[in-house]
Amino acid sequence: MAQINTILPSAKQKQRHLKKRSLWADAWLRLRKNKSAVVGMIMLATILLVVYTSPLYLDYDNDVVKPNLSQTLKFPAEGKLLGADELGRDVLARILWGGRISISIGIFAMLLSSLIGCTLGALSGYYGGKTDGIIMRSLDVFMAIPSLLLMITLVSVMKPTLTNLIIALAVGSVPSVSRMVRAQVLYIKGQEFIEAIRAQGASDFRIIVMHILPNAISPLISQFVMEIAGLILAISGLSFIGLGVQPPDPEWGAMLSSGREHIRDVWHVTAFPGIALVFTVVSLTLVGDGLRDALDPRMKR
């Protein structure tokens, strides 16, 4: 009896502790138990730390864009750990600075597409009817065009600036984001707590912004993270064909494009930017998969 009495209180305390744990705390606990997600977070944190601190130890004019023809295509080169490119510039410095540009464009494009997509998806899912029909049929026009082809068209029409590149990438991602948000809103707006809030006289704006979207966004966070990986690949693809980041600014896709002529004889010019691109995309994918499993209630044990 004494042993049973000592076991029962501890079990009750554990149950109370689990009840008090919030959604985000519970998701963080499951995320930490996911080994692949932890590896992805370590990789991503390392990449972000290295590329975003690069201005502290690299000078853009001297280390990134200044040619040094005496060291053209050398590997290893004096003072250049990963060798020099076709103009004698430091490959490592350009990879770090280019990563800063690529990741920043991907993040800002994702935020812009999420803002527009969440707005359209929420309005479409909440009001339905003609509003839903107009918004969804308009987005179907954009979805009929492959996203990369749409991005190429928009970038070709606009000036090749970083701002226009972000806009083009965001527009290409809006239809998929809108459809995901719409599906979540359609599910949540029929819940009993939404009916109770509506019965209390809350406005549509308050219901959407304060109650529906916060509950709709959490399952989509993992999709947004993986969307950044897709946008970084799209940026590299556009830069590879000359429609993305313009010289002399470094970018991983542009570095691959400029080094492809020498790939047979000098492997380091294309290998290292490609490795940086692969590691970044893989880390984002691992983190996105981990977040999906952590935020999905069906994954609870």
* Domain residue ranges of the chain, discontinuous segments joined by +: 47-66+79-299
Q: Using one digit for the tens of pLDDT, what is the confidence trace for 137-153?
A: 999 888 888 888 888 88
Please tell me the pTM assigned to this model: 0.85
**What is residue 21's predicted lDDT score, i.e. its pLDDT?**
60
Collect all residues with Cβ–Cβ distance below 8 Å to 86 and sequence separation of at least 6: 72, 73, 258, 259, 261, 262, 269
- The per-residue pLDDT for range 16-28, each reduced to its tens digit, is 444 556 666 777 7
Is it true that the peptide bond before 76 is cis, omega within 30 degrees of 0? yes
* Model pLDDT, residue 50: 94
Q: Cis peptide before 248, with omega less than 30 degrees from 0?
A: yes
Residue 24: the pLDDT is 67
Transcribe 94-138 into DSSP letters.
HHHHHHHHHHHHHHHHHHHHHHHHHHHHHHHHHH-HHHHHHHHHH
Q: Which CATH class is domain 47-66+79-299?
A: mainly alpha
pLDDT value for 299: 52
pLDDT tens for 38-76 read: 999 999 999 999 999 998 988 888 889 888 888 888 888
pLDDT-flagged residues of the chain (< 50) = 1-4, 6-8, 14, 16-18, 301
State the Cα–Cα distance between residues 254 and 56, nearest whole angstrom. 24
C-alpha–C-alpha distance, residues 123 and 170, integer Å: 19
